[in-house]
Amino acid sequence: MARLYENVDQDQLQRDADDSLLHYGTSFHPEVIVHAEGRTIVGSSGLRMLDWTSGQMSTLIGHGNPEIVETIHSHAKNLDHLFSGMLSPPVISLAKRLTSLTPPGLDKAFFLSTGGESNEAAIRLAKFYTGKFEIVGLAASWHGVTGTAIGAQYHAGRAGYGPNMPGNFALPTPNAYRSIFRHPDGSYDWRTELDYGFDLIDKQSCGSLAALILEPILSSGGMLVLPPGYLKAVKEHCERRGMLLIIDEAQTGIGRAGDMFAFQHFAEDEGVVPDVLTLSKTLGNGLPLSAVVTSDRIAEFAKENHFLFYTTHINDPLPASVGDKVLEIVVRDNLVQRSRELGQKFQKRLQTIKSRYGCIGDIRGRGLMAGLEIVADRETKIGDPELGAAVGTKMTELGLWAQLSTMPSFGGVFRLAPPLTTTDEELETALKIIEDALASTPGTKPLYSVTERTVSTPQVEARL
């Protein structure tokens, strides 16, 4: 059967794009994408690329998943969109399934469209519940570009648009690779850093601290993994100040990082449950779907006091049906375990590649979520985004889309997130492309001899 856009005029499409599309913060990919299926996307020139960003970190179980396609088709035909005060079976089913997977204390949910919208709602809920207005975020955070969400976002997007929401403060980014907070032995002293950050916030606050919002792995910040015990320490800080803890799992949730929810990973954080959890991206597998999940206590307060967050597409049945099917598939097919097991191989092999190229300063992440940081010098840790861009271009030419970090603020960090349905063969193919791109791009500082390069990566891994 012919593809939907099998025969297109790429040059004309590019001209039409230049004539009619408003830019919004990133340069457009040089290829117009005409097909996406499984773990592969296809450009109008015929270039096929393994998609290692899962679209916008969203297509958790691959493009065009047949069960998702059937779910969309049946609900588009029978139950697509309703008045916002009406309920439907897929919304109720998704809420029931989702809250059966979250720990006690995350008991009730509603559903929106984007991650920024869900964080907007979560912060609004926290302000309403606490009666306070000050919001704390991490200094490399990304929570969305709507008014309240971007007030708590510090990675990019704050300058040039007039005043942000009042009462926003930043904690130091917990970056084990770059932080200046160190123990005498040189190891990362995140606890002193965190305490110091809260001390500064206390000095700036007018006494109205409402919530802290953070990601368990700061993806846009450079795939920075919160240290073991960090969430427990943060929760204690919040409780002492009467603040809520909001955890944003737009990219880490639903198995991406090797656990159903990434905040559950470390034994040192056992028992920590956020007051509000937000989900998006992975929940909809590419469709616009997000969730706000909170406790019975907060939900009851919101109901009794008439909390308002009323949107056109709140609790829409069609996207809810997709989210419900995504959760069904993830649980049924043991994809969280798959992410954990394949992720161990993925992370180990990336470390092997790091040992072969001096331009790789750090590898970090968990599960099928990894960051690869390109630097000019390992000693100084000075970033090299230009080299990163060159390596990314070469990867694309070789058939791997892995360069989500196209904005200068991302600093040459590759954020890798293959779908959970990635096969072992596809993993090997993509890892070989990464190494081939590094080998063929000037300036990557190879650390091996010419003869070693001819040995296959698995054999090299065994030797190392």
pLDDT averaged over the chain? 93
Q: Is residue 355 part of a domain?
A: no
Residue 461: is its pLDDT beyond 80? Answer: no
Same domain, 45 and 91: no
Same domain, 114 and 243: yes
Q: Is residue 47 part of a domain?
A: yes
Q: What is the pLDDT of residue 47?
A: 94
Same domain, 320 and 401: no
Q: Is residue 299 part of a domain?
A: yes
Q: CB 104: neighbour CB atoms within 10 A?
A: 9
Same domain, 86 and 5: no
pLDDT band at 462 (very low <50, low <70, confident <90, very high): very low
State the average pLDDT over residues 403-410. 60
Same domain, 161 and 47: no
**What pLDDT digit, counting tens, does each position of 228-273 carry?**
999 999 999 999 999 999 999 999 999 999 999 999 999 999 999 9
Same domain, 47 and 101: no
State the average pLDDT over residues 91-119. 98
State the average pLDDT over residues 124-136. 98
Residue 456: is its pLDDT beyond 80? Answer: no
> Residues 62-66: contacts with CB within 8 Å, 24+ apart?
62/37, 62/38, 62/419, 62/421, 63/36, 63/37, 63/38, 63/39, 63/286, 64/36, 64/37, 64/38, 65/285, 65/329, 65/421
β-pairing, 413-416 with 370-374?
antiparallel
Domain encompassing residue 447: 1-9+36-57+395-412+431-464
Same domain, 46 and 97: no
The pTM assigned to this predicted structure is 0.94
Same domain, 4 and 132: no
Decide: 378 and 367 in contact? Cβ < 8 Å: no
**What pLDDT digit, counting tens, does each position of 31-52 carry?**
899 999 999 999 999 999 999 9
Same domain, 53 and 89: no
**What pLDDT digit, counting tens, does each position of 347-384 carry?**
999 999 999 999 999 999 999 999 999 999 999 999 99
Same domain, 47 and 162: no
d(CA 231, CA 237): 10
Residue 323, token pair as written in the block: 């989210």
d(CA 330, CA 337): 10
Q: What is the pLDDT of residue 279?
A: 98
Side by side, the strands of the sheet bearing 400-401 are: 33-37, 40-43, 48-51, 400-401
Query: Which of 332, 362, 383 is the last residue before a domain boundary?
Result: 332
pLDDT band at 167 (very low <50, low <70, confident <90, very high): very high
Count of alpha carbons within 13 Å of 46, Cβ hemisphere only?
1
**What pLDDT digit, counting tens, does each position of 343-355 carry?**
999 999 999 999 9
Amino acid at site 123: I
Query: Which of 278, 299, 332 is the last residue before a domain boundary?
Result: 332
Residue 77: is its pLDDT beyond 80? Answer: yes
Q: What is the pLDDT of residue 460?
A: 35
Q: Is residue 28 part of a domain?
A: no
pLDDT band at 411 (very low <50, low <70, confident <90, very high): low
Q: What is the pLDDT of residue 24?
A: 87
Same domain, 165 and 89: yes
pLDDT band at 173 (very low <50, low <70, confident <90, very high): very high
Residue 444, token pair as written in the block: 């990557």
Query: Which of 280, 300, 332 is the last residue before a domain boundary?
Result: 332
38 DSSP 8-state letter = B
d(CA 234, CA 263): 12
Same domain, 245 and 185: yes
Residue 212: is its pLDDT beyond 70? Answer: yes
What residues are labeled active site?
A: 142, 215, 248, 251, 281, 415
Instruction: Report how many domains make up the chain.
Output: 2
